[in-house]
Chain A
Amino acid sequence: MEEQKRPDSVDGTKNQAAFVRLLVSLVILGAALILRAFYPDQTRDFLQKAVAGGMDYTAILGDVGDGLRAFVLGVPHPDEHKEAEVAGEEEQAIGFEQGQTFDPENEPPPDGVYGQGGFDPPILWADARLLLSQFDGEDDTLPLPFGMQKPDKVDYTVYELPFETVTPADGVLTSSFGYRIHPIYGDWRFHYGIDIANKTGTPIVAFADGTVAATGKSDGYGNYLIIEHSDGYVSLYAHCKTVDVKAGQEVTRGQEVAAVGSTGLTTGPHLHFELRRGDAFLNPAPYVDV
């Protein structure tokens, strides 16, 4: 909002200069549209890496929105629900070193219910620290407010995957990657995957070509399976009603491997989907369409 400053008749040369500037900008806009239409991946990856360091602005804005919601509704004190210890021996059985991947406590059920109680400002700071630490490469020195778990290695970079992928299940995204209030335990925990909610029995398909590394059942994850893809990428599917493949079996992208259920620690039927690159957890959201 501002008051009218310029007279209606702007002087000629000024007008011409503005017109030329506008024309140049329109050409750039046209170029952006054409490049995006014909070389969507290469051009965007280049610019994203150069300017944005691979940051997903929509996700960051979404986190701000989540923070506002938590702030207004209030969240429970982080120390309240410490007693629940459900993790078991499944960690070894599954065959991955990083135990926390399979810690059922970190796996929230689908509906992102926020608890009652006082707001805990350190979470915003912790989230910001976590984002910054992505670029520092000093995850180990990350100071977190007491009462909060330090997450395993997470990586917010959006990689160009070296294989074709499909969305593992149709449905509604009910829980995103990142810190959130655990709907059962009620405290702030890092959610290492995304939740896609749909009716029990909805087919779950392989995210990409690969080999089934493990199938099993745990208190937290319920019936789950893990698929290893090329180049160190691994995907995990949890809370399945049934798992239709066996360890060691080759699967192709889009092949039905399981069905959505609510086994394990859930409050309703959904697929909990994790994606890892080496030992780092990736945000699966950019690679799926829900």
Chain B
Amino acid sequence: MTAGRVTVCAGFVLLVAVLIYLDQGSLLFVVFAAALLHELGHYIPLKLLGGRVARLELTGGGLNMVTSQPLGYGKEILTVLAGPVTSLGFALLFSLWDGMMEEQMPLAGMCLSHGVFNLLPVRELDGGRALELALNAAGCKHTRTVLSVTTAVMVFILAALCGYLAWKTRNLSLALAMIYILTRR
């Protein structure tokens, strides 16, 4: 469903439903605060560098900003990497600044996980996008192949890890999250 420049996907609504259901207090706040800070990390440099947000998508995988008019490789890599860097910065801030708020440690953990996860060289994630841009900028002719390989390798490692954890902990949540991420597009 689209309202103005904001698109809400079914997956987003489902994600909110699941989180509301599982929430033991502040989980919903922590997840969305971390996602919001991450996107602001993209948005502010994008604006500063003269980019424009064509659409904001609320998907099951989180918030997605769709940009119009390419900025050029250098600036685009900057705005792509600014998201995870912002997440890591806020992770440090929340973990080190005492007495900010009650949820600061969970928030620090979420920002750290979010930032690190987004740096993985997977096509859908910031790390993969930055790699793609960098390879294209360097004139590489096999960008698609390279990304397919890194994506496949990372997904295989993550799937193996999730499977192991699910088996070890009898906890299906990570495995379910993995299946969900793999099938969301």
Contacts and interface: CB of A to CB of B under 8 A. Distances in A.
Interface of A: 1-5, 18-19, 21-22, 24-26, 28-29, 31-33, 35-36, 43-44, 47-48, 50-53, 55-69, 72-73, 131-132, 134-136, 158, 173, 286
Chain B CB count within 10 A is highest, among A1, A48, A58, A67, for A1
B92 interface: yes
A25 B11 contact: yes
Interface residues of B, dominant DSSP: helix
Contacts of B105: 61-63, 65-66, 69
A68 B13 contact: no
Given A2-B66, A52-B171, A61-B106, A66 B95 contact: yes
Given A47-B21, A57-B27, A61-B113, A3 B176 contact: no
Contacts of A64: 108-110, 112-113
Interface in B60-75: 64-68, 70
Interface string B73-104: 00000011001000000011011100000111
B92 A68 contact: yes
Given A57-B22, A58-B24, A1 B13 contact: no
Contacts of A1: 42, 64-65, 67, 79-80, 83, 126, 129
Nearest to A47: B21
A46 B21 CA distance: 10
Given A3-B70, A25-B14, A58-B26, A65 B170 contact: no
Given A25-B14, A44-B21, A286-B24, A65 B168 contact: no
B32 to A, nearest CB: 13
Given A1-B42, A55-B171, A65 B95 contact: yes
Contacts of B17: 25, 28-29, 31-33
A43 B9 contact: no
Interface of B: 1, 8-14, 16-18, 20-22, 24-27, 30, 42, 54-55, 64-68, 70, 79-80, 83, 91-92, 94-96, 102-110, 112-113, 126, 129, 165, 168-173, 176
Contacts of A47: 21-22
A53 B55 contact: no
Contacts, number: 152
B169 A22 contact: no
29 contacts: A1-B79, A1-B80, A3-B66, A4-B54, A4-B55, A4-B66, A4-B67, A4-B68, A5-B66, A18-B1, A18-B10, A43-B21, A44-B24, A51-B22, A51-B172, A53-B173, A55-B171, A58-B103, A58-B106, A61-B108, A62-B106, A64-B110, A65-B95, A65-B109, A65-B112, A72-B92, A132-B165, A135-B169, A173-B102
Given A43-B21, A132-B168, A68 B173 contact: no
